[in-house]
Amino acid sequence: MCWGGFRVPGIDECLLHAMRLPGVRGAALVDWTSGLALGTVGDAAGDDHETAAAETAELARMVAEHPTFAPLGTAGGPETDHGKNPPVEDLVVTTRTCYHVLRFVETSFDSSVLLHLWLDRTDGNLALARLRMRDLTERLVLE
């Protein structure tokens, strides 16, 4: 966001910070209910960012909504929460050449948003990426 020449940290800043991690090919902020890409940067995994967002959303929804991964009545997912903040923090998909890390974003209002990072497996650092994504998603809604 840019108002009168003054930049306010928002989606683009979050994604550009994510792109500074080693081995990152692309990043996107995705609404996992609708499958909409709210913002994208870098290359898209697969055909294009829109398709990638829709497919990422589908995967995230399966994890966020199935009791095996997101049990009810546990810490971080009380029944009264109505799934506002999914108990799942992130999920990692490992392919032969890449990592995909999907981190759920907790917002103070009702939303279903995640940060998707696509990393090269040789150059990327999965542990660092997960830590940094936690930090970035927290800052996205606080700053």
Partner 1 sequence: MLLRLASERATGALLRDRGTLYLVEGQVVHAESPVAPGIDVMLSATGRLRPDGWTQAIREAGADGAVGRYLVDSGLVSGGELEICHLGALFDAAFFALAPSSGPTRFRYGAAHWIGPVRPVAAEAVERETLRRRALLDRLWAHPETDTAPVVPSPRSARPRTAAPRQRAVLDLADGVRTPADIARALGRPAFHTLIDVRRLAAAGLVETPRPAAAAAPTPPSDVARLMAMSADPDVALLRRLRDALEATL
Rounded to a whole number of angstroms, the minimum distance from the CB of residue 36 to partner 1 is: 6
3 binds partner 1 (CB under 8 A): yes
User: What residues contact 142, with CB distance under 8 A and at least 6 apart?
Assistant: none
Q: Which of 66, 76, 95, 128 binds partner 1 (CB under 8 A)?
A: 66
Return the residue matching tokens 């609708």.
Answer: 34
Q: How many residues bind partner 1 (CB under 8 A)?
A: 43
Whether the CB-CB separation of 130 and 12 falls below 8 Å is answered with: no
Query: Which among 34, 52, 43, 42 is positioned nearest to 12, based on CA atoms?
Result: 42
Give the nearer residue to partner 1 in terms of CB position, either 77 or 124: 77
56 binds partner 1 (CB under 8 A): no
| Contact map string, positions 92 to 121, toward partner 1, x by CB under 8 A | -------------x-xxxxxxx--------
Query: Which among 94, 103, 27, 24 is positioned nearest to 60, based on CA atoms?
Result: 103
**Amino acid at site 98:** C
User: Which residues make up the interface to partner 1 (CB under 8 A)?
Assistant: 1, 3, 8-11, 14, 29, 31, 33-36, 38-39, 50, 54, 64-67, 70, 72, 77, 79, 81-84, 86, 105, 107-113, 139-143
